[in-house]
Amino acid sequence: MGELGLTGAPLPESVGGSGFSYLGWTLVMEELGAADLATAVTLSVHILSQYPVVTWGTGEQKARWLGPMVAGDALGAFALTEPHAGSDAAAIRTRAERVGPADAPEGYRLTGTKIWITNAPEADRYLVFASVDPAAEAKGIAAFLVEKGMAGFTFGAHEKKMGIRACPAAELVFDGCFVPVANRLGDEGDGYKIALSALAEGRISIAAACVGLARSALEQAAAWIGQRKAFGGVLAEQQGLRFLVAEMARDVEAARALTRQAAAMKDQGKPIGVASSLAKWTASDTAMKVATDAVQLFGASGYSRETGIERLMRDAKGAQIYEGTNQIHRLIVAADVLG
């Protein structure tokens, strides 16, 4: 993907990226999702970990940090989730203790645990969120650029997942890991808004990948019932199955429309919080429904590993959970509608 320029596709040319519009980026992610959701997730999170550096980083940080990542030589990860803080990102407990004077620290010592960190332990560079002032809750969170191999930074359990297996996820353990102040992204207290702004972008990316998975499930199911014979004819002649395929096609198109609308809003500089939630929630639910319907249309062959259709269903389930559970996105949308 690095050789193709995809590992920096939506990043500006000023930092070495390909300068794709975000709408253009959704086309890339849809095609990757149609081929393999695990690969799409790996790339999406790699981009997710770079965007905050583009937006919040100093010139020195951009020059030092982004080059190998844009080229695909260093894989990135986004380290927010903890055992007690998943969707409730403000509740993180990983601590960043200042080393040196409070008004001019030399750096920070990170202590705590992150879980379900996509691309770990393979990733080389991690955007890590930790609290410099737990009493301040969300306002006390800061973001740090942490490299694999730093003293005090190790890996714990590797997740054994139901789906999206080709994309690793693992536990990060920080035991007094020293991070110089030059590796703090933004100011102390900026971490929470840095995380939320990045996640809004990432949700559009994941939505596009889910559209791709759903499209693949639809196309494969339609081809299957078009050649499978039963009851004196091909299955595609059965009205009930035709209606099901039509509904699958409708849902894919609706999810794609919401996704591309959210991407266009980002390109226009409009707020995308609610639009990205609508896109991610709708597209991942669509991926799950269409993949499940595809398994049904394939019958016993769909339940078998031989066709690969059951993998689409397993992969889609994960998409309903990560990047904010779909229940969280319902709350975001409801808050916008109801105030």
Q: What is the mean pLDDT of each run of 10 residues along the chain (339 residues)?
A: 96 96 97 98 97 96 97 97 83 93 87 97 98 93 97 97 97 98 96 93 96 98 93 90 97 98 97 97 98 97 94 97 93 96
d(CA 248, CA 322): 23
- All domains of the chain in start order, with CATH: 6-74 (1.10.540.10), 77-192 (2.40.110.10), 196-338 (1.20.140.10)
d(CA 15, CA 59): 10
Q: Give the N- to C-terminal CA distance of the chain in Å, as an integer.
A: 42
Q: What is the pLDDT of residue 49?
A: 97
Q: What is the pLDDT of residue 86?
A: 73
Closest CA to 326 of 209, 203, 205: 203
Q: What is the pLDDT of residue 101?
A: 82
Q: What is the pLDDT of residue 85?
A: 81
Q: What is the pLDDT of residue 89?
A: 77
pTM, to two decimals: 0.95
Sequence length of the chain is: 339
d(CA 159, CA 110): 23
Tokens of 215: 């499209």
Catalytic residue from among 82, 201, 310, 323: 323
Closest CA to 120 of 86, 81, 89, 70: 81
Q: What is the pLDDT of residue 230?
A: 85
60 is catalytic: no
